[in-house]
Amino acid sequence: MLEYYNYIKALHLIFVITWFAGLFYIPRIFIYQIEASEKPSPDKEILGNQLKLMAKRLWFIITWPSAILATFFAIILLILNPVFLEMPWMHVKLGFVVLLWLYHLKSHQIFKQLQNGIAKWSSNQMRLWNEGATIILFAVIFLVIVRDAVNWIYGVMGILLLAVLLMLGIKFYKRVRDKNPNA
């Protein structure tokens, strides 16, 4: 089975990428659903139904299968090469994977609410939520690539700086959008 290690690793990476693609796009659809729910009829119903269908297809055809397969191939990789479990960076990475699953499960909860016509989040709150997967992705990629050479103080400061920059970008976009609703 070790001769297939690189093939399994490639499959793991492919499904990680498609999982993140789904996690990046689903909050955008949520934003559009929330904004569509505030429109007058018949736009509200037409857009709402189309966005529900888009969300359902993205979530169940791409995002959920990718999450399951990425995790499945990761477990196989760890079984084939258990030495990684002894490395401190892998413990931190697995912590971020747990955070990613929590993000995924919370997104699933939001998905189910919006499918039932319940919008508990504003579009601005959802824009902030949209950045969660980005922060986790940055953390995991830098952790995997740099590994033990990472200075944890700088790493944590870098992730916090990224989060602040993303929040400032969202606030800036909101101002631009408030001045020009078609932006």
Binding residues for heme: 12, 93
Region of 147 please: left (phi>0), alpha (psi -120 to 50) or beta.
left
Between CA 146 and CA 8 the distance in angstroms is 22
Between CA 87 and CA 94 the distance in angstroms is 11
CA distances (Å), origin 102, targets 35, 133, 170: 25, 11, 23
Contact predicate 51/27, CB 8 Å: no
CA distances (Å), origin 54, targets 19, 27, 98: 16, 12, 27
Between CA 137 and CA 27 the distance in angstroms is 15
Between CA 115 and CA 92 the distance in angstroms is 34
Looking from the CA of 77 toward its CB, the CA atoms found within 13 Å total 17
- For the annotated binding site, the residues are 12, 93
